[in-house]
Structure 1
Amino acid sequence: MPFAALIPPLSVATAVAPLSVLLLVAAYAIGSLSGSLLLGKLRGVDIRQQGSGNAGGTNAFRTQGLRFAFGVVVIDIGKGALAAWLALRYAPVGADWSVTAHGYLAAFAAVLGHVWPIWHGFRGGKGAATLVGALLVLWPFAVPVLVLIWGVVLLASGYVGLATVIAALSLPLLAWLSDAGAPRLWFALTAAALIVFTHRGNLARLRARTESRFARARLLHRWRRS
């Protein structure tokens, strides 16, 4: 595929079916159900007031422990998968947007809901787990590749944020190499850009050398020292 094809033509729909709008609104509402904040209410804590202040799985692990973080990740992945599945299942036939486009638009709406949740004062997480959940439904082949990249970078560096950003940036490249259609390629580009944006604080701290590290995850560093 020529490099110019990395930016596919974007057609503008002349009319949007009411059901299409409803599916996107529902996806955003589902994405706004934050796993960490819902579980935090049961425990009587708001993790946005603890640690990094982020309502995501990493901060949940650091401040509340493994079991709490596991529940958070399950919810956040699940809501991304649910939003994408509902869009594929109920997308109107014959609409200006294809069924596939409905799925990816709903997935992006769910990630936006996670980052800016209407139910939680528009202060949410960074969107990575919800993105993975949507990909499990829409593009399951990509998930093992992203997890592998994420794991390699984490083991080499110990930085969760850096690993997440690099994995996200690999998504458009993976879409391009696999000759993805326009909906998937546009989703890959916009999702990667959003993940970089939500991790801008991590990137700034990396430049300042103040970013927190998971020292135990740095296997390569430990092997060199042993």
Structure 2
Amino acid sequence: MTMTLADAGVLLAAYLLGSLSGSLLLGRLRGVDIRRHGSGNAGGTNALRTLGWRFALGVVAIDVGKGALAAWLGLRLAPGWAYPAAALAVVGHVWPLWHGFRGGKGAATAVGALLVLWPQAVLPLLAVWGLVLLSSGYVGLSTVLAGLSLPLLAYWQAAASARMVFALALALFLLFTHRSNLQRLWRGTESRFERARLWHRWRSRA
């Protein structure tokens, strides 16, 4: 597939959109760099733990929105490059040009892209994420397992090659960006979101 100058422009725009970090942009309005608090990650989970749910909701809205916008631009302006545009938005979130290449882990931006490019995958993805979170309380593990479910879903749906490659690449990328979570989980030092462990609390009361 030949890339035109317009296609390259869309891909560049997707990366630059991804580089607009919700937590860092909103943090500037409060005079806070979230990377200096909590886990040091510029993502929604750290935003929730350090600055509360209202701030985290704004962060997630921006991060999901930019993934959706990048994917939409790819579909409208460079249809053959829609999945690469979505991938570059996720890359931009993790290594943002505007913020010293220190961003988040890419999950919310990936969800935004999926809402546009593969909306049927979002509900199963969130179901896996929610079930693992409710049973374990580990956000990072929930995200990794949800990501790993994407290639299985693509295979089950006999997805086209572009979607299959995107699903596999995204699963591996989320595994990479959450490697520190998995290392802490292995060592038994990973932080748990105890309030989310509804299954554990229900079993304790039973």
Deviation per CA, 1:94-140, whole angstroms, max 9, x where unpaired? xxxxx2x4111100000000000000000000000000000000000
Aligned residue number for residue 76 of structure 2: 89
Which amino acid in 2 is paired with 1:221? H
- Count matched residues: 205
Q: What TM-score do the two structures reach when normalised by structure 2?
A: 0.98
Aligned residue number for residue 45 of structure 1: 32
Q: Which has the higher contact order (CA 8 A, sep 6+)?
A: 1
- Which runs of 5 or more residues in structure 1 are unaligned? 1-12, 92-98
Counterpart Cα distance in 2 of 1:183 and 1:17:
19
Larger radius of gyration: 1
Counterpart Cα distance in 2 of 1:188 and 1:221:
31
Aligned residue number for residue 111 of structure 1: 90
Aligned residue number for residue 133 of structure 1: 112
SS in 2 for 1:141: helix
Runs (4 or more) in structure 1 with deviation over 6 Å come to none
Percentage of matched positions with identical amino acids: 66
Question: In the TM superposition, what are the counterparts of 1:133-212 in structure 2 within 5 Å?
Answer: 133-212=112-191
- Which runs of 5 or more residues in structure 2 are unaligned? none
1:55 to 15, 21, 42: 42
Q: What TM-score do the two structures reach when normalised by structure 1?
A: 0.90
Counterpart Cα distance in 1 of 2:51 and 2:199:
27
Higher helix share: 2
Counterpart Cα distance in 2 of 1:24 and 1:109:
7
Is 1:71 matched with 2:50? no
Aligned residue number for residue 8 of structure 1: none
Deviation per CA, 1:58-78, whole angstroms, max 9, x where unpaired? 000000000000000000000
Counterpart Cα distance in 2 of 1:158 and 1:58:
12
Which amino acid in 1 is paired with 2:6? L
